[in-house]
Structure 1
Amino acid sequence: MSKILIIEDDLSIGEMMSIYLYEEGYQVMRAETGRQGEMLFRDFEPDVIVLDIMLPDVDGIQLCTDFRNSSTIPILMVSAKNEVSDRVKGLQTGADDYLCKPFSMRELSARIQALLRRSHAFPPPAQSTATTEQIVHLDLEKRCLFVHSKIIETTFSEFEIMKLFWQNQGRVYSREELLNRVRGFDSYVTERAIDVHIANLRKKIEADPKEPKYIKTVWGVGYKFLLT
């Protein structure tokens, strides 16, 4: 049974989410403040966090950052703020998805299911084609990125970029080409966001992101991926 931590100060919305998800078969705990959420995060060990941005005691954005700095648990951010800039800020802070209020409970459940599917920690294949020198490995069937045989959490757009790189190693892709790859999944992405995705991927797979070994910048053109 997957465990869901809801951090929501609105009593009616929090109760509604808790009851619906409980009836869907999840184990649910709810916090009404950020501080309560931090304690439950440590003690409850959830599989997904549903986090409201507007909390009475702490900034939800900062709380998201704190969670992300210590864990790869999927975070679904919910908020009445529906401007594009708010959504982008939430995702760049470390949230894996963003849901604008008001929303249906069915959509909430579907978003959580998607996050659980993407974050499920599959073990590396027993008969992996990766050699001992191949530090980075992509399992396309299970949508998993491995570094040193450990699964690395990625957003949907980050995985799509890595998938394109993996299947076409050595080919140089412009920002526009990468943008076209992910635009169908993230309608708010821009060429600047591609640079952010690349920077985040480098942090996840490179020993030294400032001197990347795998994801290379081709100045004036774009990026390419090389295992050697």
Structure 2
Amino acid sequence: MSTEILIVDDDKEIAELIGVYLRNESYQIHTVQDGLEALQFMERHSVDLVILDVMMPQMNGLDVCREIRKEHEIPVLMLSAKTEDMDKIIGLMTGADDYMIKPFNPLELTARVKALLRRANYQPTVKDPDSIYIHSLKIDKQSHTVHAQGQEIRLTAIEFDILYLLAKNRGRVFGSEEIFEKVWNEIGTGSNKTVMVHISNLRDKISAATGEAVIQTVWGVGYKIEK
């Protein structure tokens, strides 16, 4: 079965460039030029990953990402010409899994797409425990799901991996760079804000479902889940 990737960008040249590189990796590529068209496409077709530009006519990428997250947990890679840290934080807070600044290296974008798809399609080895029970949560590695009192908490692949890392190592404090290196499998230099936003989203989802503050901040050090 082919991997379906949707590119949403009103810059035809950039969309075509991305498409060339990803088709070389045997991905099936679909391209649309505005946010509304993207949402309409996703109503009719199954998509495995979305590459989403921020600045577009009719509906910007931030609003599109919010709409995608209402129905889908597929990876979203956001693209933007904005270089400010706050723009990146806002993008991640809307539900994007990764964020790249234009202009970008197409080979790096391809590598990030592969990494996002690997996490989304991760199949654990038989050595992984079936479930971790902590507070009122059941964290199931085999199905990549989290439940609280029988109700599923919908997490992105990155949010699940962060939660699983902290839960599996209860009581241990992980710094932002270490979390980034273990979850993203990349060097964690300058990753504090990225991890902070994903932790914040994760906390909000857990708190909404359980009323509990499961992930603790150790100021100046990092994050942990207490034993």
TM-score range, shorter chain: 0.7 to 0.9
The answer for the alignment partner of 2:94 in structure 1 is: 93
The answer for the alignment partner of 2:50 in structure 1 is: 49
> Structure 1 residue 165: deviation in Å?
3.6
Bigger Cα displacement from structure 2, 103-112 vs 71-80: 103-112
| Equivalent residues of 1:48, 1:75 under 8 A apart | yes
Report sequence identity in percent: 33
The answer for the alignment partner of 2:71 in structure 1 is: 70
Letter in 2 for 1:78: L
> Structure 1 residue 218: deviation in Å?
9.1
Q: Tell me, in whole angstroms, the C-alpha distance in 1 between the residues paired with 2:190 and 2:16.
A: 31
List gaps (5 residues or longer) in structure 1: none
| Equivalent residues of 2:6, 2:51 under 8 A apart | yes
Give the count of matched residue pairs: 214
The answer for the alignment partner of 1:187 in structure 2 is: 190
| Equivalent residues of 1:3, 1:28 under 8 A apart | yes
Structure 2 SS opposite 1:155: helix
Over aligned residue pairs, what C-alpha RMSD do you find?
A: 3.7
- Say whether 1:110 aligns with 2:103: no
Q: Tell me, in whole angstroms, the C-alpha distance in 2 between the residues paired with 1:36 and 1:65.
A: 15
Distance of aligned partners of 1:122 and 1:43 in 2 relative to their CA distance in 1, 3 Å threshold:
farther
Deviations 1:52-110 (A, max 9, x none): 00111112111111111221010000111122221111111111111111112211211
Letter in 1 for 2:146: V
Distance of aligned partners of 1:165 and 1:27 in 2 relative to their CA distance in 1, 3 Å threshold:
same
Structure 2 SS opposite 1:19: helix
> Structure 1 residue 193: deviation in Å?
6.3
Q: Tell me, in whole angstroms, the C-alpha distance in 1 between the residues paired with 2:39 and 2:203.
A: 29
> Structure 1 residue 154: deviation in Å?
3.6
- Say whether 1:225 aligns with 2:222: no
TM-score, length-scaled by structure 1: 0.75
List gaps (5 residues or longer) in structure 2: 181-186
| Equivalent residues of 1:51, 1:75 under 8 A apart | yes
- Say whether 1:153 aligns with 2:159: no
Distance of aligned partners of 1:186 and 1:180 in 2 relative to their CA distance in 1, 3 Å threshold:
closer
Letter in 2 for 1:68: R
| Equivalent residues of 2:132, 2:168 under 8 A apart | no
Q: Which has the larger radius of gyration?
A: 1
The answer for the alignment partner of 1:136 in structure 2 is: 138
The answer for the alignment partner of 1:22 in structure 2 is: 23
